[in-house]
Structure 1
Amino acid sequence: MTYQEVLENARKRMAPRCRVCPECNGIACKGVMPGPAGKGTSRTFQRNVAWLGEHVKLEMDVTGGNQERNMEISLFGETFAAPIFVAPIGLIPYTYTEDMTDRLYCDAVMLGAKAAGILAFGGGGPKAENFYEPLEAIRENGGWGIPTLKPWAVDVVKERLKEVEAVHPFAFAMDIDSAGLPHAGLANPPMLLKTEEELREIAAATDLPFIVKGIMTAEAAQKALRAGAYAIVVSNHGGRVMDYGLSTAEVLPEIRAAVGADTKIFVDGGVRTGEDVFKMLALGADAVLIGRPYVIAAYGGGAEGVQLYTEKLKAELKDAMTMTSCKSLQEITRDKIRLV
């Protein structure tokens, strides 16, 4: 199977909600909810893609020689093939089409990511099975994955953390911004906004590294870190929780400046290519999460499609590193890009 065949298969299986556009930018699917669109006018989704593409440019420098390019990254005591992870996405048949179930999607991204040497985050949703199906997929994948909990009441989170610990994942995440999703009101138990004190209580309830997803300001980042987060994810939930917001690429540099060089920062939103990965790293991220394109890859080719898309990203990242004379991820610094 080729990646082009993956896209062609996905286009048939995901119609009419997702058109598998040449660029996944939120324009053609504007207003399609349930579906892949952003909230409201989809402006935040569109800005994620457009700002990164239009305003962040690579500085070409081919004087660095023909050394090998090392894309490996060490996190959670493990070394991964590239700083690329599958973002958490749930409610697959509700959001896209019933041609794929949540469990089939979880299996595809967990297995495909592992085959490519990276990790997938498990998704979630308003019902209990939306938590347990990704967790079971991670269990069957030997713990190779990261479950994502919803921002339930702290006592509910603590109970489910016991079940998370039993599958021995690398870490766990919480997408705290999911309380703003259109279907949040359907959740049982309810999804609730979190305070710094509640995040601290959650972090203290387990020895697993805690990743707080849904950070868009320096102040929010500092709160999460004070609460004991291992890492933060700069994310606006792909534009699905707030209209007329800034892009993640715009706020990433100020968040990095506020938290310092040692904090682990992941970012999602608008990352489509290996060049986009390079840009986000140069802006201050340690790694990226990618969502919608991995859904397309899973619909189009299952685990093989996920692996193929990942290998495509890795090849593009390697090419960007070659054309900017970066031998390792540590050399992808701010001077390797220009904001225009």
Structure 2
Amino acid sequence: MKLSANLKGALFTSLYFFLFVSIAFISKDVFAIIIFTMGFVLAINLIAKGLNRLKIPMKIAVVISLIGSLFFLYLLLVLLIPTVIKEISNFIVFLNDFFQKAQWKVLLQNQPENIVDNIENFMNSLQPKLIDLLSNFIELIPTYGQKAFTFLFFLTIGTIYFSFYFDYFKEKLQYLYPKSLRKSANEFYNEAFNQIEHYVVATLLASAFVGISAFLAMSFLGIKYQLLLSFWAAVTNFIPVIGVILEFIPMIIVGVSSGLTTMLLFLVIMSIIHGAAFIIFIAIMKDYGRINPVITIFSLLVLGSIISLTGALIAVPTAMIIKVFWQIYIKPELERS
């Protein structure tokens, strides 16, 4: 059976995609560096395009975007990391006190006894897991510190080089295909990169907005551990679907200790913040990357189980690639008479 050009292109693209993902099975650290480098480069490239529209030459625009992005990244790390690590230690002490005094029972007043008992059993089982998780993290900080230095070094070098050769790289991808398939391959990669660029920038801005807004809201309401929880809120917003759930768990625990009224007000404010962040995300994405939620969840489950955290981070971009793959290669084939 002779394959059509679309099916041949689909086979080549699938092969290269699986070869790329197979890097994660060889080394998850290397795969994570590649993913974060590509994310940075895509964001820098889109910012440079915006500056280019202001009549700034593209190479100069790339340099400005690159310097600004790396400066902001390292400034953020220098200002946040030491304080966040210190707050984690204090947060562990707070958690112990929170569970020992059963402060969560404030939320269960006038509730049936069996409900209180079930939740108490759950909280008692949750306590050692949370404490162990945070304690192990603190113990592993020296090891993580060394890994973080290596990660940042290769991220910086990769971002600098890849930013200047990004367009060249995209142009040469078509030569991985036979000559008869290069037109559709070029169309596939241009569309995939275009959608992922917008997704990366939209996610970065939405996450930064949530983190900064959460910090201001907690400072206004007098809720403790503002920096730690706002940092956590920004990070978890990079994870689709379950990120918001992971964000709210520690916020509710800390909010309860500040009083039921304060906690409820804080949750209302955070819901408004997330609504505004969603509007920002949609405004940037516009007509790009409208993904079926079922595909997103399926991608999250599969990649999260295979590649852990990095897999969860690339779940939506992978779903976008699948959508473009379908539109370029599969859909035209199915619609042939």
| Higher strand fraction (1 or 2) | 1
Higher helix share: 2
- Establish whether TM, by shorter chain, passes 0.5: no
TM-score, length of structure 2 as denominator length: 0.26
In terms of Rg, which structure is larger? 2
